[in-house]
Amino acid sequence: MKEDYLIEFATQIRRDIVRMVNAQNSGHPGGSLGCVEYFTVLFNSFLNHNTDFSMDGKGEDLFFLSNGHISPVYYATLARTGYFPIEELSTFRKIDSRLQGHPTTHEGLPGVRIASGSLGQGLSVAIGAATTKKLNNDPSLVFTLHGDGELQEGQIWEAALYASAKKIDNLISTIDYNGRQIDGDVDDVISLGNLEEKWKAFGWVTLSCNGNNIKEVYKTLEKAKELTGKDKPVMIIMTTEMGNGVDFMMGSHKWHGVAPNDEQLQDALSQNKETLGDY
Amino acid sequence: MKIEILGNSDTRSGFGAGLSQLGKDNPDVVALCADLTGSLKMNDFKDRFPDRFFQVGIAEANMMGIAAGMTIGGKIPFTGTFANFSTSRVYDQVRQSIAYSNKNVKICASHAGLTLGEDGATHQVLEDIGMMKMLPGMTVINPCDYNQTKAATIAIADHKGPVYLRFGRPKVPIFIPEDTPFEIGKALMLQEGTDVSIFATGHLVWEAVEAAQALANEGLSVELINIHTIKPLDNESILRSVAKTKCVVTAEEHQIAGGMGESIAQLLATNQPLPIEFVAVNDKFGESGKPSDLMKKYGLHSSDIIKAVHKVLKRK
């Protein structure tokens, strides 16, 4: 995919995110905005996926969102890559919607293969899916995204241990390392210490990148792909800015789970002009 | 059904035998275990189908997540660990990644209840039926002997959706004939009668058989029904039975709160309110001891069923 299109896509889903969250006065814009470039690159240029959705996803790359609260960026990406009509984004967090506050399979939303929201569970699920791919002789890959605060959950480390011990090498995980969580900076809540060294010590191959740079995200994912099939799981530590692309949401944890009001929405939209057409 | 002792074995061995049979018959069946392969009697499966056996170590939360993920692509995972670690330890993982996500995982749980014995209350889960039956879409099964556990293990592989299969540690009489079909959600009539309905599940079914024999000597006609599937409950069989007997005793190795008896009480309250007595643990943790001593101390012995029958008959 051409870079120009990726930039347009990223700008458009930024608009989608703030509009969705504003419309229901509810949701998580900060982390969603920080991961716009990752979703843009992964779904447009990387995943070998079929938007004619099947739960089993045989022969396709699979993606699991472990930090389910950033559902706005996930939903906007799924809609704009063809999983469901973009008009459905207007139902986000409303009653009778398939776009639940946190992603789920329960309402049958195409593109979602597991419920997430209660944190720390997605890595285990992805390991399971990756194991089944091996059993099925399916060479496709499994991708996951996690929050950095989420790494405070113990299950993540159970899964980290298992993935290296059992050589789950068809898995590319990414941490959204924005350094912020609900109560403040991750360093102030429970510091993660030297994150890269931790994952290395757990037996993973690590890469790092600036997650808000489209070219860098692409190159890093490409490198990660080259590292698969070599007996080790791969972890990308992706530094991002929470609220990226909307100036007043950047540099703070305060927009983790707070919706912009109508005036703030207009400000955010003025910084991200319509590119692919609003829903 | 003529009830006679056909042998003596632990229900967990019935699970192990059923799992090995599935290994042979169904290539999609995979098994996961959290460092309790021997206790769960999964060794035979592990030895015969090593590529489909996954040792996850002492990390039950991870095991539940991996099992959920393995269903994506068509595998049918059977997880094996103690009942306590299959439920209370991993309730959120089971709730979100398996039940809410409607994943085809079979949660197989041994050492349920007091009959785990000497290890004591940390391991004697008595709340698991309640936790699991509360989850929408979860099937809950508690078979009563080796043969029924083996049959149930095989049957759940063909059922699409999450299942909780609960069994135990001690050797108990085998009395369900090997060729008895296992139908999920269909209660098993063990003895027809007219004075009282006894509904029993798991290890308490044999206690109820002994109680029914003693009560027959008193001239009482007991209807004894094995509720191996607690969810979905066989409402029809239960209501048909109570229409005849007009009073009920339930028996299970579980807390009264959240148990099979509670489900039956709810059914009766909304359809045909009748006297009911519960033979189950009454809001207590267990303790170390021999299984048979614990069953007596906590009121789960055949004599407790007899007492409950006498009591409920007076309330009729």
CATH code: domain of residue B253: 3.40.50.920
Which residue in this structure is represented by tokens 């056909």? B6
Q: What is the pLDDT of residues A2-54, one digit of tens each?
A: 899 999 999 999 999 999 999 999 999 999 999 999 999 999 999 999 999 99
CB proximity B93 to A under 8 Å = yes
Distance (Å, whole) CA B44 – CA B115: 24
Structural domain span for residue B267: 188-315
Q: Could you tell me the pTM of the whole model?
A: 0.98
Instruction: Tell me which residue of A63, A248, A235 sits closest to A159, measured CA to CA.
Output: A235
Distance from CA of B1 to the nearest CA of A (A): 42
**Chain A residues within 8 A of B66 when measuring between CB atoms:** 124-125, 127-128, 131, 159, 162
Distance from CA of A141 to the nearest CA of B (A): 13
Residue A1's pLDDT band, with cuts at 50, 70 and 90, is low
Residue B95 belongs to a domain: yes
- Domain containing residue B66: CATH number: 3.40.50.970
Residue B183 belongs to a domain: no
| Residues B169 and B211 occupy one common structural domain | no
| Residues B169 and B278 occupy one common structural domain | no
CB contact under 8 A, A135 and B73: yes
Distance (Å, whole) CA A80 – CA A13: 8
Distance from CA of A176 to the nearest CA of B (A): 21
Assigned token pair, A201: 């010590």
For B63, nearest residue in chain A (alpha carbons): A124
The domain boundary, picked from B115, B146, B174, lies at B174
Q: Edge-to-edge strand order for the sheet containing B106-110?
A: B53-55, B29-33, B76-82, B106-110, B163-166, B139-141, B229-231
Residue B1 has pLDDT above 90, yes or no: no
For A164, nearest residue in chain B (alpha carbons): B56
For B89, nearest residue in chain A (alpha carbons): A155
The A residues from 142 to 181 touching B (CB cutoff 8 Å) are: 154-155, 158-159, 161-162, 165-166
CB proximity B56 to A under 8 Å = yes
The domain boundary, picked from B119, B143, B174, lies at B174
Assigned token pair, B92: 């959120």
| Residues B134 and B254 occupy one common structural domain | no
Of A104, A155, A166, the CB nearest to B65: A155
Distance (Å, whole) CA B102 – CA B105: 9
For B71, nearest residue in chain A (alpha carbons): A129
| Residues B120 and B201 occupy one common structural domain | no
CB proximity B51 to A under 8 Å = yes
Distance (Å, whole) CA B88 – CA B27: 30
| Residues B125 and B193 occupy one common structural domain | no
| Residues B107 and B39 occupy one common structural domain | yes
Total domains in chain B come to 2
Catalytic residue IDs of B: 60
Mean pLDDT of the B132-147 span: 98
| Residues B167 and B220 occupy one common structural domain | no
Residue B127 belongs to a domain: yes
| Residues B152 and B25 occupy one common structural domain | yes
CB proximity A50 to B under 8 Å = no
CB-based burial label for A258 (10 Å; 0-12, 13-18, 19+): middle
The percentage of chain B sitting over the pLDDT mark of 90, rounded to a whole number, equals 99
Mean pLDDT of the A77-89 span: 98
Residue B2's pLDDT band, with cuts at 50, 70 and 90, is confident
Tell me the one-letter amino acid at B121. A
The A residues from 54 to 73 touching B (CB cutoff 8 Å) are: 55-58, 62, 64
Q: What is the pLDDT of residues A102-139, one digit of tens each?
A: 999 999 999 999 999 999 999 999 999 999 999 999 99
Residue B137 belongs to a domain: yes
The domain boundary, picked from B151, B174, B197, lies at B174
Residue B70 belongs to a domain: yes
Least confident range of A32-36, A255-259, B83-87 = A255-259
CB contact under 8 A, A131 and B61: no
| Residues B92 and B29 occupy one common structural domain | yes
CB proximity B122 to A under 8 Å = no
Residue B180 belongs to a domain: no
pLDDT for residue B150: 98
Find all residues with CB under 8 Å of A147, minimum gap 6, and list them.
A31, A66, A67, A69, A70, A119, A175, A176, A178, A181
Bridge-based pairing of strands B163-166 and B139-141 is parallel
| Residues B170 and B235 occupy one common structural domain | no
Q: What is the pLDDT of residues B246-285, one digit of tens each?
A: 999 999 999 999 999 999 999 999 999 999 999 999 999 9
Q: Tally the C-alpha atoms within 13 A of residue A162's C-alpha that lie toward its C-beta.
A: 31
Contact B154, B21 (CB under 8 A): yes
Domains contained in chain A, CATH given: 3-270 (3.40.50.970)
Mean pLDDT of the B176-186 span: 97
Contact B250, B261 (CB under 8 A): yes
Distance from CA of B62 to the nearest CA of A (A): 5
| Residues B44 and B168 occupy one common structural domain | yes
| Residues B129 and B237 occupy one common structural domain | no
So what's the ipTM on this one? 0.97
CB contact under 8 A, B64 and A154: no
Distance from CA of A218 to the nearest CA of B (A): 26
CB proximity B59 to A under 8 Å = yes
For B136, nearest residue in chain A (alpha carbons): A106
Residue B54 belongs to a domain: yes
Residue B93 belongs to a domain: yes
**Chain B residues within 8 A of A114 when measuring between CB atoms:** 68-69, 72, 97, 101, 103
